[in-house]
A and B are shown apart, each in its own frame.
Chain A
């Protein structure tokens, strides 16, 4: 069976084609294309402009993906699109195209939960069977464990997502958004060496980032060449604090929080595997910290590279095809989108462990 996956819940427009030859064989990735809307430094992506970007690119990208995959329209069994969660306007664009194609080509339609897409893609790529999942991106921060046909949320952010915290801090420092802000912050952090104290906000299995962002923004105002010499932030040794130091401190602090809540979830359910998915999951320092923690508990950490952990169409096609195999489809009149769609709302009928 072959599925076409359309993803556009945020600033990435992803088109993927995947084939599931048979239930026991690994899936075959036929095409995985992505085009990202990049806003100028100091700004974020807004729903209206992002939707316009998706409108402009989606037809071209679908044509290209089908051509690259070398499949005929008749070969496609189902068209999968992101139902949510995400930004309303971009989601609508993609859903509209999905509906149109479904009518035009007379194909089944399936709305997919974006978070479940990430989880299933991560599992397929890493072969982690039943891991604790840390899902970290610009819009989501969740610690998830599977139980009785649901991906259950154990811990999550109480306010903004971790990626949002990083992106907005990048804006404060006027760090470019190309290829994506988190990547650039990571490169800055590699050159930082002084750990500046930031708040640390873990509550049980939940985390909070808004206060940390506010504190980091305040510190950022005292850093840089434009600030008067006597007003600049210094370390205890009298060294000038740099932007790099701030990026380093932010990463060390918020990633430690993530690893801590993940470890707590692992201790709680007695799991030894941990899988990191979502855009922030491409951060090498986070992957390293997670692996260290897992090793200390006698387990292992899994992560994927940016092709699969950053939003893409393949994950929507893959998760959609898994659900389609349980004979689930979305009728046209129900093919809506929703900005709020919880991970644990989805009945995971394709797993029976």
Chain B
């Protein structure tokens, strides 16, 4: 779909005014709105101790829905999400831990994952590699190195990117292997956990700084901890100066947002998961298509039956998501 998906930029500014009265034990102090989805709101806050950061997913009652139906849906969805997460943890997958929840009040507290989304990292990468290719000459990071060295370095960096894609393929493969389909597998719902702490840029370029949505996790966290008020996200330019992209690719792949996840072993559901992921990657950059193939190659080796899913993916691709409407 060619419609703008930059809901981060658009909704973040409006969400800051959109704070519901939260159920106990949460208060508005130490609270940062990350995003407003259709289902509910996602906050960053603390849980149990002031030093335990967490993600709070709050599903406020929907005034348009019959109260009985509303309770039923909130309970079913909240429990489904929590159960899937717990199952994933038990199987050793990298997903946020469930810290607590209450289906009557509609909240679920999850472990805070420090890192960046794959979408963000890819954006930085595409920007960086694209810039070098366009210049066709060594840039600041390579100094006076010869053309050959630049090529070699570029190759090495690309290899890191390929390695990240293999990790993505493995992670999704493992998820499907244990009988879970994510339901909304986009690059924004895949994170790379920060293994080491990176310093924020000392001189963020002010002109490009603007608030964003859920992508901003690590910067937002830093900002919140330093008490800097509304979270600011340094643009790709600023970030690539402070964080070498190579560093961004280190760390485990963590899948987040299991709000639409289902427990299923059907090839169709798995293939649709992959199709959504493929479209998310190709939407980021045309070059990402090759990268995605690598992820799928690794996916095909992760579990028995994965090859069958890949065959099904070819069918799903042909069909698209939409059939010709009757009537």
A interface residues (Cβ-Cβ under 8 A, vs B): 85-87, 138-140, 142, 145, 147-148, 152-154, 156, 161, 164, 195, 197, 200, 204, 252-253, 256, 259-260, 263-264, 266-270, 288-290, 292-293, 296, 298, 339-343
Contacts and interface: CB of A to CB of B under 8 A. Distances in A.
A241 to B, nearest CB: 14
Contact size range, B:
20 to 34
A252 B37 contact: no
B152 interface: no
A263 B10 CA distance: 15
A195 B65 CA distance: 12
B2 A148 contact: yes
B2 A147 contact: yes
Contact of A154 (B1, B10, B73, B183): B1
Interface string B1-43: 1111111001100100010000000000000000011100000
Given A260-B38, A263-B38, A267-B38, A86 B66 contact: no
B322 interface: yes
Interface in B162-206: 183-184
Nearest to A158: B323
A85 B69 contact: no
26 contacts: A85-B325, A85-B326, A85-B327, A87-B327, A153-B322, A154-B3, A156-B325, A197-B72, A204-B260, A252-B65, A253-B69, A256-B64, A256-B65, A259-B64, A259-B65, A263-B38, A267-B37, A268-B38, A270-B10, A288-B64, A293-B63, A296-B62, A339-B327, A340-B324, A340-B325, A342-B322
B36 A267 contact: yes
Nearest to A159: B326
A204 B38 CA distance: 11
B327 A256 contact: no
B73 A204 contact: no
Nearest to A114: B327
B226 interface: no
B141 interface: no
A343 to B, nearest CB: 8
A352 to B, nearest CB: 16
B222 to A, nearest CB: 26
B4 A252 contact: no
